[in-house]
Amino acid sequence: MGGLLQQFAAWYLAALAQGGYALIAALMVLESTVLPLPSELIIPPAAYLAHTQGKFSLAGVIAAGTLGSWVGASLMYWVTRWLGRPLILRFGPYVGLAAAKIELAERWAAHYGWAGVFFSRMLPVIRHLIGIPAGIVRMDFRWYSLATLAGSCLWCSVLAGLGETLGQHPELLAGSLHRFSLLVLAVAAVLAALYYLFVHRAAARRVG
């Protein structure tokens, strides 16, 4: 895993010079669909470059990340709304959407509504799945969009703050992509623990 993170980090840092905000937004679109790419790998490096090299503005990185998240989440919403639950459950496993994951997202959305959409933007697993139940139950797209934009903006701001902190304290990286990879893994582990505590266990209790 660490090797893959290092390879992606090396490619991404090089590609950002050419891709700019469009690349950030495009990768965040993927992050919010059935091909999730952790946002922890996308926003912090861009914010780091924004602080250390001035190639981007911090506000621009947050805006690009937020827009990309909204586009990806909107695609999930409308595709699910058009296809309907039976087709999603039938063909979901072919694209990594097991029925158990879909049902978990449905229980989360049913219990928390648009507020669940907002908080889901800051949790792994449920983040890219929340558009499925929202589309199935035909949640008001305006509220869905507002919750997605607000939650994505907050999450991108947190990640951008992390990247800026690394720029202010380069000793945290010490010029090593290996340490950056370990940092990302640590953040992912914390988020996974939060997901288990606040989503998986809560949903399981409601079913029980």
* pLDDT tens figures, 69-80: 999 999 989 988
Residues contacting residue 171 through CB under 8 Å, at least 6 positions apart = none
Confidence of residue 208 (pLDDT cuts 50, 70, 90): very low
The candidate with the shortest Cα–Cα distance to 2, out of 196, 186, 193, 195, is: 186
In a domain, 35, yes or no: no
Across the chain, what does the average pLDDT equal?
Answer: 76
pLDDT at 95 over 60: yes
Question: In sequence order, what DSSP letters do the residues of 119-133 get, joined into one string?
Answer: HHTTSTTHHHHTHHH
Range of 27-41, 104-118, 159-173 with top mean pLDDT: 27-41
pLDDT at 134 over 50: yes
Which pair of tokens denotes residue 178?
A: 């290996």
CB 166 within 8 Å of CB 98:
no
Confidence of residue 67 (pLDDT cuts 50, 70, 90): very high
In a domain, 27, yes or no: no
pLDDT at 183 over 60: no
In a domain, 82, yes or no: yes
What is the Cα–Cα distance from 199 to 6, expressed in whole angstroms?
30
Give the distance from CA 4 to its chain's centroid: 18
Amino acid at 18: Q
pLDDT at 145 over 90: yes
Which pair of tokens denotes residue 52?
A: 């250390």
3-state helix vs strand vs coil in the chain, percent to 5: 85, 0, 15
Total domains in the fold of the chain: 1
In a domain, 9, yes or no: no
pLDDT higher at 6 or 42: 42
What is the Cα–Cα distance from 108 to 115, expressed in whole angstroms?
10
pLDDT higher at 202 or 187: 187
Domain span at 186: 42-207
In a domain, 58, yes or no: yes
In a domain, 157, yes or no: yes
pLDDT at 207 over 50: no
In a domain, 36, yes or no: no
- Note the pLDDT of residue 61: 92
Residues contacting residue 44 through CB under 8 Å, at least 6 positions apart = 159, 160, 162, 163, 166, 184
In a domain, 201, yes or no: yes
Lowest mean pLDDT among 16-20, 74-78, 120-124, 170-174: 170-174
